[in-house]
A and B are shown apart, each in its own frame.
Chain A
Amino acid sequence: MSNAHLLKPTFANHMRSNALFYVLLIGGAILMIGPFVWMVSTSLKVPGDQFDRRLIPARITLSNFPTAWELMGFSNLIWNSFKIAALSTIGQVLTCSMGAFVFAIVKFPGREFLFVLLLATLMVPHQMTIIPEFLIFRWLGLYGTAAPLYLPSFLGGAFGVFLLRQYFRTIPIELSEAARLDGASLFDIYWRIYLPLAVPALAALAIFSFMSSWNDLFSALIYLPSDLEKTTLPVGLSLFQKLYQGKWTIMMAAVLISVTPIMIAFFFVQKQFIQGLALTGIK
């Protein structure tokens, strides 16, 4: 008789021979989500219980959420952050796709040189350009308004152009050549062929732009007045930290409210997001 049954990868056999790997993975995963679990746990506690070290609160309350919402003027912060992130996203998707389309399929002298130059700017730290950027916006009279937080997104960007160009180049060029024979202009090809076919890549870029804008602390610190009326969510949270020191249950409720929209959004688009990220790593 054969011993084939011994090789059959049953669940138990798999677990036995891979136990070490699962221990490492589960241990790692606990460390990764530990802070999130602790945040949820604290946000559900009665303020008096915040130091009781229990993972499951002894008394569960939801009252920290409305308290945090009111203290922080959350509706303002969320609206400000959303407005800026939405405009940044539109700017990036529109202008990066325009640039990427030209770099991907239109031939013109100097194209490779320009593209390499653009890519080289990926290595330049933001701090190297932030001071002149600040001076320009101040000169334009936009200091203190939200414009400096979204206007730069309407000027393309190396990351977005690179991401979309990689995707555009997987679309067969024959489609464009056929359209050209039918009299389509460059703009028609961009608008009617490339944009509709590149929806997954555009979605990935949209998510990247939205998240980086939504999470951006530095620009909001520099350009916006530090009051809860005008600023964005990240600065609002840092002000909250100063104002309500030690009130951990309310603070964790505020944090939970502020990360939930992004976590829900990410859950639905994780495939595109992760694929987009992987795309930038393969050269």
Chain B
Amino acid sequence: MSEAGIRAKGRERIWIGILLFPTLLGLAVGALGSIAATFGLSFFDWDMFTPPQLVGLQNYVDLLSDRKFKKALFNSIAFSAMYVPATVILSLLVAVLLNRHVYGKSLFRLLFFLPVVTSPTAVGLVWSWIYSKDQGLLNSILGAMGMDPVYWLGSKMALYSVVVVNVWGAIGEGMIIFLAGLQAIPRDVYEASMLDGAGPVKQFFYITIPLLIPSIFFQTILSTINAFQAFDYIYILTKTAGGGSTVPTLVFNLYREGFNFFRMGNASAQAVVLAAMIMVLTLIYSHLQKKWGQ
């Protein structure tokens, strides 16, 4: 691709090795080696106290009939199905609003971005107060209107409550990605379309959206990866006294099996399923992008 660059000669090549060493070690051990090891472990039964036993595909077969796993899988898919479109659409909307001439633009940008930088654990506690069953903000507003309190973080509602918080925390990041994409659209495209009599709505659907397709796909892929890995808010908001959760997701279930019960084989098999799902979705998205991008 790029032919710019300098070539190391003779003994100087050692610098390439030295400078690249940490990255390559991380790539070999931290990434590729660990992926292979997780694969390998998924064929074993191992509780970390007795020696591991090779069980072949048994861990995967067990997952098929594991009710906890199936519930977690369902929760993760339902979570993503709501979280991804909501995050993409809302952050696109905010970006479009802020891409106009607006007074206080940088203040608005700062406010929308605040949840991205503050710790989800800390802010999660604020949400747990807002959602609290006993006179939390939402329930006390409902009460003032004469309605019954809702158990926002109970097993019925928790999925939706948690999606709301995660979307709230992710809009700022998506907004920045879309703002960068919007600023790359040349002004004269809009000016030309105005001469042809296109209004703002037409412009949005016939110019902005088609030219923003790469950013939309990027943001969709990023949100999907984040959705399947969401942990912090779920941990803080839905953890029960016994260590379980009212909406256990795949990552939560994996954390429990692996690091509370030390069922390393089972947890590895779940990690493989999780990674495979993310990979398949990413491949589908990039296929669609190639199809629609042109």
The CA-CA distance from A118 to B25 in the complex, in Å, is 11
- Out of A53, A105, A251, A277, which one reaches B144, CB within 8 Å? A53
| Residues of B close to A221: CB separation below 8 A | 235, 255, 259
Q: Does B271 contact A (CB under 8 A)?
A: yes
- Asked if B271 contacts A131 (CB within 8 A), the reply is yes
Instruction: Please judge, given known A-B contacts A18-B100, A258-B119, A274-B113, whether A161 and B38 are in contact too, CB under 8 Å.
Output: no
The answer to whether the Cβ of A19 comes within 8 Å of any Cβ in the partner chain is no
Partner of A125 from the list B5, B123, B235, B278 (CB cut-off 8 Å) is B278
A106 / chain B contacts, CB cutoff of 8 Å: 5-8, 16
A281 touches B177 (CB 8 A): yes
Query: B154 on the interface (CB 8 Å rule)?
Result: no
Return the CB mask of B41-70 against A: 1 if under 8 Å, else 0. 100000000000000000000000000000
Q: Please tell me if A124 contacts chain B, counting CB pairs below 8 Å.
A: yes
Check B16 against A211 for contact (C-beta < 8 Å): no
Q: In whole angstroms, what is the CA distance A281 to B135 when docked?
A: 42
Cα distance A35–B251 in the bound complex, in angstroms: 26
The verdict on A134 contacting chain B, using a C-beta distance below 8 Å, is: yes
Q: State A259–B118 Cα separation when bound (angstroms).
A: 6
Closest Cβ–Cβ distance, residue B37 to chain A (whole Å) = 4
- Interface bin, chain A: 35 or more
**Assembled-state Cα–Cα distance A270/B108 (Å):** 13
Contact between chains at A173 and B4 (CB < 8 Å): yes
0/1 string, A221-255, CB within 8 A of B gives 1: 11000000000011101100100001010011011
Q: Identify which of B4, B23, B168, B218 contacts A118 (C-beta below 8 A).
A: B23
A237-B120 CB under 8 A given contacts A51-B140, A131-B267, A218-B232: no
Q: How many Å lie between the Cα of A263 and that of B113 in the bound state? A: 11
Question: Does B97 interact with chain A (Cβ within 8 Å)?
Answer: yes
Q: How far is the CA of A270 from the CA of B106 in the complex (A)?
A: 10
> Which secondary structure characterizes the binding site on chain A?
helix
Q: Indicate whether A154 reaches chain B with its CB closer than 8 angstroms.
A: yes
In the complex, identify which listed stretch (B26-34, B79-87, B189-197) lies at the interface while the others stay far away. B26-34
Assess whether A263 is in contact with B2, with CB atoms less than 8 Å apart: no
Complex Cα spacing A128 to B275, Å: 7
Given the interface pairs A117-B27, A123-B278, the reply to whether A128 lies near B121 with Cβ below 8 Å is no
The answer to whether A156 touches B26, judged by C-beta atoms less than 8 angstroms apart, is: yes
Among A58-66, A185-193, A197-205, the stretch that binds chain B is: A185-193
Decide if A102 is an interface residue (CB 8 Å cutoff): yes
Selected from A132, A161, A185, the residue in CB contact (under 8 A) with B23 is A161
Q: Is the CB of A25 within 8 A of B176?
A: no
How close is A249's CB to chain B, nearest CB, in angstroms? Answer: 10
Name the one of B108, B270, B275 contacting A29, with C-beta atoms under 8 angstroms.
Answer: B108
Q: Across the interface, which residues of B come within 8 angstroms of A117, CB to CB? A: 27, 32
What residue of chain A has the Cβ atom nearest to residue B4's Cβ?
Answer: A173
- A129 to B13 Cα, complex, angstroms: 31
A28 lies within 8 A of B168 (CB): no
Q: Which of B16, B110, B128, B129 has the most CB of A within 10 A?
A: B129
Q: Is the CB of B35 within 8 A of A124?
A: yes
The answer to whether A215 touches B218 (Cβ under 8 A) is: no
B16 lies within 8 A of A186 (CB): yes
A–B Cβ pairs within 8 angstroms, 11 of them:
A22-B102, A32-B115, A38-B130, A95-B26, A99-B19, A114-B27, A187-B19, A211-B117, A222-B255, A277-B177, A278-B180
Closest 8 CB pairs of A and B: A155-B26, A99-B23, A156-B23, A129-B34, A278-B180, A95-B22, A132-B37, A234-B121
